[in-house]
Amino acid sequence: MGTPTPYATFISTQDGSISTMKWILRDIEAIGDKPAFVSLLGDSSYARVEPVASKVPYHVCIGNHEYDWPLQPWKPDWSNACSLRN
């Protein structure tokens, strides 16, 4: 979701996603204190993954919001071409 930073410590930092955080807070407030609804959303998500995860190991990798973070330990060789262009 990005990191809103008032400084330029790193050469390549993502813009902070302040809007995304506002939308998440809005959605959480709309759901309210309804654990059953939150559980339903989780169950639905797992149900979508189950056909794959029941047959092969399923590993969740880093998302696009962590991809450009300079200190992230996962740097595949194929990402070098993209990194050098920035």
Residues 64-75 pLDDT 10s: 655 555 666 666
Domain count, the chain: 1
Average pLDDT value for residue range 46-64:
77
Does 13 reside within a domain? Answer: no
Q: Which of 16-20, 27-31, 64-68, 77-81 has the highest mean pLDDT?
A: 27-31
Does 73 reside within a domain? Answer: yes
Does 24 reside within a domain? Answer: yes
- Alpha carbon distance 53, 69 (integer Å): 28
Token output for 73? 């330990």
Residues sharing a CB contact under 8 Å with residue 28, sequence separation 6 or more, in sequence order: none
Structural domain that includes position 52: 18-85
Q: What is the pLDDT of residue 52?
A: 86
Average pLDDT value for residue range 20-33:
78
Q: What is the pLDDT of residue 65?
A: 59
Is residue 49 exposed (0-12), middle (13-18) or buried (19+ Cβ within 10 Å)?
Answer: exposed
Does 51 reside within a domain? Answer: yes
Average pLDDT, the chain: 68
Does 74 reside within a domain? Answer: yes
Q: Is the dihedral angle over the CA atoms 24, 29, 33, 37 positive or is it negative?
A: negative
Q: What is the pLDDT of residue 45?
A: 75
Q: What is the pLDDT of residue 34?
A: 75
